[in-house]
Amino acid sequence: MEGGVGDYQEYAASAEYLHLLSGPAWPALRPRLSAALSGVTANAGPVLELGAGTGLGTDVLLDTLGNEVLAVEPSAALRGVLLARLVDGERAGRVTVFPGGATEVPLPDRIAAVVGMHMVGHLAPPERKRLWAAVRNGSRPARPWCSTCSPRPRPSRCRSSRG
Ligand SMILES: C[S@@+](CC[C@H](N)C(=O)[O-])C[C@H]1O[C@@H](n2cnc3c(N)ncnc32)[C@H](O)[C@@H]1O
């Protein structure tokens, strides 16, 4: 990610609506994410959540697991919502919010799981490669890796015209 943390503006126009717009996707995602994390043990280290947004996925991690969560979020506006939603006691105590991008966060020695919901498309292929390698690196075996990705666009016919 280029520039400093305060420079990230990609969600500047939509940040105020993102929580409301994203909510309807989560009743279906919630049980699937919980199920994917079912093998994670509480003593395996923190869960790394990339692009936590307003915390809809963070909620699932906190409700499903006893682990600490390292939530990475570059947008100040979305972080504001995330922090406000975490304000009450036990939940806040288990989450560290990193103000920056996925390739900037200092990785902990151990990672219990990596979660990146609706965010992988923000990473250019070389960034993904570097991040995947860093997360896999020797002493920090990451299990499991949960992310969403958009369906591949299907080819469709279009009419050609010559002007
Ligand atoms: C569509 S939102 C998804 C938010 C949340 N994960 C959810 O599913 O509700 C994409 C998120 O990825 C974050 N993001 C964008 N680029 C990123 C990067 N390089 N590293 C980490 N997060 C990034 C955005 O700020 C935003 O919060």
Decide whether any atom of ligand 1 lies within 6 Å of the 75 Cβ.
Answer: yes
Predicted confidence band of residue 46 (pLDDT cuts 50, 70, 90): very high
Q: 11, 17, 119, 129: which to mutate for ligand 1, most atoms within 8 A of CB? A: 119
Give me ligand 1 centre to Cα 150, in Å. 14
Rounded distance from Cα 141 to ligand 1 centre (Å): 23
Residue-wise pLDDT for 7-43, tens only, equals 899 999 999 999 999 999 999 999 999 999 999 999 9
Ligand 1 atom showing the smallest separation from residue 29 Cα: 8
Q: What distance in angstroms lies between residue 162's CA and the mean position of ligand 1's atoms?
A: 42
Cβ–ligand 1 distance for 61 under 6 Å, the answer: no
131 neighbors 102 (Cβ within 8 angstroms):
yes
**pLDDT at residue 5, rounded to an integer:** 65
Q: Which domains does the chain have, with CATH numbers?
A: 28-147 (3.40.50.150)
Instruction: Give the residues across from 113 on adjacent strands.
Output: 47
Q: Is the CB–ligand 1 distance for residue 65 below 6 Å?
A: no
Per residue in 76-97, pLDDT tens? 999 999 999 998 778 889 999 9
Measure the CA–CA gap between 23 and 43, rounded to whole angstroms. Answer: 30
| Token pair listed for 108 | 């902990």
Q: pLDDT (tens digit, 9 = 90+) per residue, 123-146?
A: 999 999 999 999 887 555 557 888
Residue nearest to atom 3 of ligand 1 (CA): 118
- The tokens describing 30, both together, are 């919630």
Q: How many angstroms separate the CA atoms of 113 and 5, rounded?
A: 25
**Probe ligand 1: pick from 47, 69, 122, max atoms within 8 Å of CB?**
122
Neighbour order of strands in the sheet with 69-72: 95-98, 69-72, 47-50, 113-116, 145-147
The tokens of 32 are what? 């699937």
Q: 34 Cβ partners below 8 Å, 6+ apart? A: 60, 63, 64
Please name which of 62, 52, 60, 64 lies closest in space to residue 18, comparing C-alpha atoms: 52
47: left (phi over 0), alpha (psi -120 to 50) or beta: beta
